[in-house]
Structure 1
Amino acid sequence: MAASPSLRSLQAFEAAARLGSFVSAADELAVSPAAVSQLVRGLEDQIERKLFNRINRRIVLTEAGRELYLQVNGAFAEIRTISRDLSGGERRSSLVVSVAQSVAMGWLSFRLPAFIDAHGPIDISLRGEDDPAPFESALIDIRLSYGQFHYREHETEEIAQDYVYPVCAPSFLERYGPVTSPEHLLTKKLIHTDWGPSSASFPRWKTWFDSLGLAADRNVQRGMTANSSRAALDLACGGLGVALGQGMFCAEAVEAGDLVIPVDHPIALDQPYCLTIPVRSAQRSLVIAFKSWLAAECVKSIRSPALRSW
């Protein structure tokens, strides 16, 4: 009968896979990189599977490596949690949440106190970052992302489809005159949103006018441009023009009267918002509760009655 893999070799493999480096794994385990490499190579020989491809001093999990990692990562994560709890001090729940920068700074940060009040003391690490997020090296428990194609190796669930609306400050209409038809916007100052070349495309004003059958010349692209949805809304709140605002971000401002929708013609974003949870976190009660709460908050904003009649 073949011997079972040693706990030490599995630990070395899990650390190297999670951290993406034999050197980093060695630092964590307080051994040499050569020792980690030897343990992993011994594990590969024992199970007769290649676990890493070694490319230009980098290690990349093979299909067999990813399969084994999903099996052992959860177990070692539990061991690390138990070890922290036994080391002393008050036991506190922890949660690593990953979202886009605009969601972290302009939306979720204002809502987290309500979740903490309902669930008691929690150590939350809120990460604002672009896709793809480093699930394993950062031990991310849950990720809210735009689009459903970033994390095929994890369980991903569609939450809601957002829309964009023409929005501006009441002071803008007072200064530049009312908007009583879509055609009027062709002559108004417009604020544009450009998520950048590495991100998904945000609807352009030309797309909005095309959806109404209105021909917009190249002048419609003139004006101020922001590289985030939140920044575009801040410019609109300042009375600098009309922006295409995402429902999730502009709902509260419209409800409060800080922004108005001069023309009722929303258009849908190309992709839905999705929640992704890795296998190692899928059964944690706190993660399950946060997922349910976050999904409800997203839908609440996106489907605000102030935006349109649902």
Structure 2
Amino acid sequence: MAQLPPLRAMQIFEVFGRLGTITATAQELNVTPGAVSQQLRLLEEHLDMVLLVKDGRRAALTPAARGYHELISQGFGRFALAQDYIAEQRLAQELTISCLPTLLQRWLNPLLPAFQAEAQDSTLRLIAQDLEPDSHMLEHTFRLTYGEVGRRYTHSRVLFTDYCFPAASPEFLSRHPEARTAEGLSRLLLVGIDWGAQYTTEPHWRDWFKTQLATDPPPLRHVAVYSASGMGLEAASAGQGAVLAQWSFAKDDLMAGRLVRLSPDRLYLPDPYFVCWGQTTLNQPVARQFLNWLMQVTKPLRDQTQQ
């Protein structure tokens, strides 16, 4: 195996690729901008390739550097998971819940005050994490995730199966009343959501139009494609375009009037969401309480899918 670059240089590169500026990188790592630039040059020299190009007054990653950064980020993500594992061993009395970021932010977090009112002496530690933890790292942890990966853990239960529908801001709908029809909507600006290569079954706009139109839709126009559903919903709420919204993530926006549902039809996700846990997780009384509460909260959603 080729000699790895210095760990410090890779760390600085990971932070720079995430934050996008030398100044922000220096602030996060509590070093000088000069030290950041020096480490980035050192990494380029070690790899014998250009990682940064000038984009106006700022430096940006080259296409090859973006792919390298994605792999580096996975490595540092594993470091973070390992540190979380050690912390969990020290803080076994806490209940740790690892969750897909949008599922945590948009679905679970608004529900948690009800659980915390029942379990007042408990402390919840919430981790927003796309990367799936290794099964042996769930000893004191729950993992809320989506799709086939949920069945790979030692212990898991189905929470619910979500569904999608088109939605847009009231302002967008007032400008484009034709968005109420599938044919009219297919000609408007759309906000896309793409979870990434590891997810291949989540619905996209073309899947929706296949269920609504007798013929193939015209070429679709995306104003933007987001890697997280929450960002796509925010873009739609701002009037940038219509979004194929998941009910579990969009319900609060719909109730608040930030989004309007454009069709009563539903397109169900092909896979459910799961709650998973480790071999010793349920040794904690608060963990058993949380699992019972979570299954009770999601029972109406499971019953609805079976109707």
- What is the TM-score of this pair, normalised by structure 1? 0.62
Residue equivalent to 1:121: 121
Q: Which runs of 5+ in 2 are unaligned?
A: 1-88
* CA distance in 2 between partners of 1:302 and 1:179 (Å): 30
Residue equivalent to 2:106: 106
Residue equivalent to 1:229: 229
Residue equivalent to 1:269: 269
Q: Which runs of 5+ in 1 are unaligned?
A: 1-79, 85-91
Displacement of 1:214: 3.8
Displacement of 1:177: 2.9
Displacement of 1:217: 4.6
Aligned-partner SS, 1:249: helix
Residue equivalent to 1:278: 278
The within-5 A match list for 1:8-157 is 93-137=93-137, 139-150=139-150, 152-157=152-157
Aligned-partner SS, 1:279: coil
Task: Flag the 1:214–1:233 CA change in 2: closer, same or farther, 3 A.
Answer: farther
* CA distance in 1 between partners of 2:293 and 2:230 (Å): 22
CA contact (8 A) 2:169 2:258 kept: yes
RMSD: 3.0
* CA distance in 2 between partners of 1:298 and 1:252 (Å): 17
Aligned-partner SS, 1:265: coil
* CA distance in 2 between partners of 1:298 and 1:188 (Å): 35
* CA distance in 1 between partners of 2:236 and 2:295 (Å): 27
Aligned-partner SS, 1:179: helix
Residue equivalent to 1:52: none
* CA distance in 2 between partners of 1:240 and 1:153 (Å): 39
Residue equivalent to 2:220: 220
CA contact (8 A) 1:166 1:245 kept: yes
* CA distance in 2 between partners of 1:252 and 1:153 (Å): 31
Which amino acid letter does the alignment assign opposite residue 102 of structure 1? T
CA contact (8 A) 2:96 2:140 kept: yes
Displacement of 1:116: 1.6
Residue equivalent to 2:248: 248
Aligned-partner SS, 2:220: helix
- What is the TM-score of this pair, normalised by structure 2? 0.63
Residue equivalent to 2:206: 206
Aligned sequence identity (%): 23
What per-residue deviation string (whole Å, max 9, x for no partner) do you get for residues 169-222 of structure 1? 111111233434211111221111001113344311111111124434562153
Residue equivalent to 1:258: 258
Give the count of matched residue pairs: 220
Residue equivalent to 1:187: 187
CA contact (8 A) 1:156 1:275 kept: yes
Aligned-partner SS, 1:130: coil
Task: Flag the 1:133–1:140 CA change in 2: closer, same or farther, 3 A.
Answer: farther
Residue equivalent to 1:53: none
* CA distance in 2 between partners of 1:231 and 1:301 (Å): 24
Aligned-partner SS, 1:136: helix
Displacement of 1:234: 0.8
Aligned-partner SS, 2:286: helix
